[in-house]
Structure 1
Amino acid sequence: MSIFHAIIFGIVQGITEFLPISSTAHIVITQLILGTPFPGLAFEIFLHIASILAVVIYFRKDLIAVIVGFFSYFKTRSTENRVHFLFALYIVLATLLTGGLGVLLKDFVEDTMKTPAFIAVALFVTGLGLVFIERFHRYGSRTEKDMTFVDAIIVGLAQTLAVLPGISRSGATLIAALLCGLQRDTAVRYSFLLVIPVILGSTVLAIGDVSQEVFAAIGAPALIVSFITTFIFSWLGIVLLIDFLKRSKLIYFAVYCFVVAILVFLFIDPSTIMEV
């Protein structure tokens, strides 16, 4: 892989991983524009690790508070520790729900849904969800201490929808959390902290399919460049989403999804879709 292609794939994977615009759809489009296939599962896992690193560093204080509070609750049953303990359980529950349903749907999705028409429709649905949450739903005021296991189940089910090409994982979880009445900061933290076990879990499940030959074919320079690029643009994606959410500007992402959906439907030839 050339350094140029490594940078482009790193930018696209990084910025679209956390913005509510679907990374899968954009990787497909990028392949077609460049005329170069995405290197496969091993490369995808590699870039996902860079994205996780960005989340862990950005939300390090929240992550540490949840982990420390979870284990401290076994010793000190304080109200603060209880909130962190339950918040950790909500993350685990949503992750298990997503993982279990994701494994069941994986083969079906891969075989039948990676088509331009389906991706276009899924992007359009993502856009509609963003329009609804931005224009027709009041932001809630519930924080971590007000969350319930029902919230975790709803968000976990929404996150499962991200196995469908064109449905944004961050968009689905954020919309679901806001629909549950969580305040914006809590919804963002929950959505982003959820991505850590989800991606780590999918990485562990797929590790047997990773081949050293694939990494060798890509080349060490391209791997390093793509990792750094993905990390930088994942960080940028996190900052942009939080900023747009605070200023109630999610509608811009909705318009973007609509435009891309139309372009995908009109201009991408189904026969040219490459495996992602």
Structure 2
Amino acid sequence: MTWIEALIFGVVQGITEFLPISSTAHIVIVQLMFGYSFPGLSFEIFLHLASVLAVLLYFWKDMWEVLQGFFRYIAHRDNKDRTKFFFGVYILTATVITGGLGAVLSDTIGEGLKSPYVIGSALILTGFALVFIERFHRTGRKQEKDMTFLDAVIVGLGQTLAVFPGISRSGATLVVGLLRGLDKDTAVRYSFLLAIPVILGSTVLGVSDFTMEMVTYVTVPNLILSFVVTFIFSMLGIIWLIDFLKKSKLIYFAIYCFAAGILVMIFIDPSVVVEV
């Protein structure tokens, strides 16, 4: 791998991780463009660590408040900590559902669903979901204090769909959260905080894939470069998305997903299957 390719992988992973356009799909597309097939999930998981580091640094105050309120409520049952306690429960609930069902689906969907044709179709499906939530669904008013256990269960189920390459994790949680009546700020914040345990959990499960074969394949300098670039662009993506959604609409992401999905199906050999 050249340093330019490592740079491109970092930029693509960083930008797409938190936008509702599927980072997995874009990493696969870049692999196909460069002709790479990484050993296991090691490189992708490595880049995800840089993304989750960006989320942790950006939302550390939010995470700290949730953790403090969660454990204070357990210890003292103070009503002022009740909202934070249940918000923590909702994060754990969605994470457990995603982890459990995601593991089952990953073992059963088969490699055929990782083809360019399926990835393109999933991107288009993501686009339709974004159009629906933007054009045909009235924005809700539920905030953190108004959430329910059922909201967490359904968002967790929606997040599980991201096991299919081309279905955006952030897009799925955002769309399902809005369908459940969350206001946009709460849905976006919940989606970002859910990314932390999900990505960290997948990293723990994928530790066995971290081998010297991957390090040799990519090289240490390129691993460092791609990690730093992924972190920087993940942070920029978080800041930009939060600001963008305050002023603009999800329809622009839908248009991008339609275009990307169609291009993938037209220009990439449909017989190709990539390990992701």
**Per-residue deviation, 1:250:** 1.0
CA distance in 2, matches of 1:252, 1:40: 33
Paired residues of 1:126 and 1:171 also in contact (CA < 8 A): yes
Paired residues of 2:126 and 2:168 also in contact (CA < 8 A): yes
**Per-residue deviation, 1:39:** 5.6
**Per-residue deviation, 1:24:** 1.6
AA partner of residue 120 (structure 2): A
Percentage of matched positions with identical amino acids: 63
Paired residues of 2:115 and 2:272 also in contact (CA < 8 A): no
Aligned to 1:149: 149
CA distance in 2, matches of 1:191, 1:15: 16
Kindly provide the CA deviation profile for residues 206-240 of structure 1, in whole angstroms up to 9, marking residues without a partner as x: 21232133223322211111001000111122122
106-115 or 123-132, larger mean C-alpha shift? 106-115
AA partner of residue 83 (structure 1): T
AA partner of residue 56 (structure 2): V
Task: Specify whether residues 211 and 38 from structure 1 end up closer, same or farther in structure 2 by C-alpha distance, changes over 3 A only.
Answer: closer
CA distance in 2, matches of 1:165, 1:219: 26
CA distance in 1, matches of 2:90, 2:110: 29
SS in structure 2 at match of 1:19: coil
SS in structure 2 at match of 1:137: coil
CA distance in 2, matches of 1:27, 1:202: 17
**Per-residue deviation, 1:60:** 1.1
**Per-residue deviation, 1:116:** 1.9
1:56 matched to 2:59: no
CA distance in 2, matches of 1:39, 1:12: 19
Kindly provide the CA deviation profile for residues 50-80 of structure 1, in whole angstroms up to 9, marking residues without a partner as x: 0000000111111110011111112332333
CA distance in 1, matches of 2:80, 2:100: 31
Paired residues of 1:161 and 1:172 also in contact (CA < 8 A): yes
Paired residues of 2:115 and 2:274 also in contact (CA < 8 A): no
Aligned to 1:99: 99
28-37 or 221-230, larger mean C-alpha shift? 28-37
AA partner of residue 72 (structure 1): R
Paired residues of 2:154 and 2:176 also in contact (CA < 8 A): yes
Aligned to 2:216: 216
**Per-residue deviation, 1:40:** 4.2
CA distance in 1, matches of 2:28, 2:266: 15
260-269 or 36-45, larger mean C-alpha shift? 36-45
1:188 matched to 2:188: yes
Paired residues of 1:123 and 1:257 also in contact (CA < 8 A): yes
AA partner of residue 181 (structure 2): G
Aligned to 1:112: 112
Aligned to 1:170: 170
Kindly provide the CA deviation profile for residues 122-160 of structure 1, in whole angstroms up to 9, marking residues without a partner as x: 111100111111111121111111100000001000000
SS in structure 2 at match of 1:271: coil
CA distance in 1, matches of 2:116, 2:184: 33
SS in structure 2 at match of 1:167: coil
1:226 matched to 2:226: yes
Paired residues of 1:116 and 1:269 also in contact (CA < 8 A): yes
Paired residues of 1:14 and 1:230 also in contact (CA < 8 A): yes
Alignment gaps of 5+ in structure 2: none
SS in structure 1 at match of 2:74: coil
Kindly provide the CA deviation profile for residues 99-133 of structure 1, in whole angstroms up to 9, marking residues without a partner as x: 11011110223423012221121111100111111
Aligned to 1:34: 34
**Per-residue deviation, 1:45:** 1.5
Coordinate RMSD, CA, aligned: 1.4
Runs (4+) off by over 6 Å = none
**Per-residue deviation, 1:179:** 0.7
Q: What is the TM-score when the length of structure 2 is the normalising length?
A: 0.96
Paired residues of 1:9 and 1:27 also in contact (CA < 8 A): yes
CA distance in 1, matches of 2:27, 2:110: 15
